Structure 1
Amino acid sequence: MTTTVPRQRRKDARPQELLDAALALFVEKGFAATRSEEIATRAGVAKGTLYRYYPSKDELFKAMVRENLSIHIAESAAQAAQYAGPIAGLLNEMMRAWWAKVGDGNAGVVCKIMMIEARHFPELARFYVDEVIQPSKALIGGLIERGIRSGEFRAVPVEATVHLLIAPMLHLLLHEHSFGEHDVCHQTMGAAELLDAQLSLLLHGLLAEPQGT
């Protein structure tokens, strides 16, 4: 009995070990240059074991996207559906939570890899659009529309405003996971300060002017 429990635990942990090994290699070598055999070796398993959990490198990457990005989008959508207060406050909270969960960790690395290599892998790019980009745009766009309907926000073009909210976050993510890792830009401002400035500018620009001003 004592010999089977550790084995079962190792078996249960294996999918995560494979995802961790793949992410490390994708960062080091890029998605295209990484071979499945290398991922299996890094995780300490046979190639056949890798294929038992993930039939291809593409499927492994999709699992990585679902674990690191899709889950956070779903959580935010559930939070938004239950929220009844001012939309500006919710947007502020969600943008900060996005950076804490996505921008400053493994999920940010997954975003960077996809942005760099999407043009070479159209099937994965379509998957990423369906799994990450479209749900994110729908979530933020829906919040802006709610704010407009309630009179909290002025009537802004929704799709363009979604891009204005997302683009600075992606820029910050790319900086943190490229130049920021080597400190070659000597940036004196942290992510929190930049987020403060972005949210202040954009959210106050969204707010409707009080009647009579």
Structure 2
Amino acid sequence: MAFRGAVITFPGSNCDRDMAVALEKVWGEPAIRVWHGDPDLPENLDFIAIPGGFSYGDYLRCGAIASRSPVMRAVVAAAGRGVPVLGVCNGFQVLTESGLLPGALMRNAQLNFTCRPVPLTVENAQSLFTAGFEEGAVVTFPVAHHDGNYFADEQTLDRLEGEGRVAFRYASPVNGSQRGIAGVLNAQGNVLGMMPHPERAIEPELGGSDGRVLFESAIGALVDA
């Protein structure tokens, strides 16, 4: 079975190649590269990834301008049809700005750019992105962000917790995120936004392979669908 995964590139994206390489290494199929100005997505996509970086230089708010790009209308529509969408780092910011996920990503509490491997606790091992993990397991992904401090009002946070939509939580303080949230799911479970970079942790040569499990989980869910 051939899998069709797409990676969206915006002006200022700098992890799009990393994401494309990760998808190809794990899935054995080259990722389709999609430019932000394209009004439509390729047909019959199995997976859409919005990578990290500094779309539009992070002017205005991180991800705000990118969320208004022509291709995002197609991404929002695809997500509504159930296509899995993964947003990492700047991609997470784009997903919140586009309304696909609740909350916002604010300046790190310590006001510094944070770039290092961090331990994460797997909070939900039932989603299509996380089914290969053990719930409660501690995994290590790198982070590289200046605006990764997850914020939402208490009612939204309670809803995310109650509905099992917190996918990953920082095992130790990283950026001031409320309740240590590192990644959240949409209500349907087919959209995941996270600040840590699973695509940078897919093989031991990169320092660890915990991130590979996320992509393997997604392909497993597609096979079983």
Structure-1-length-normalised TM-score? 0.29
TM-score under structure 2 length normalisation: 0.28
**More strand by proportion, 1 or 2?**
2
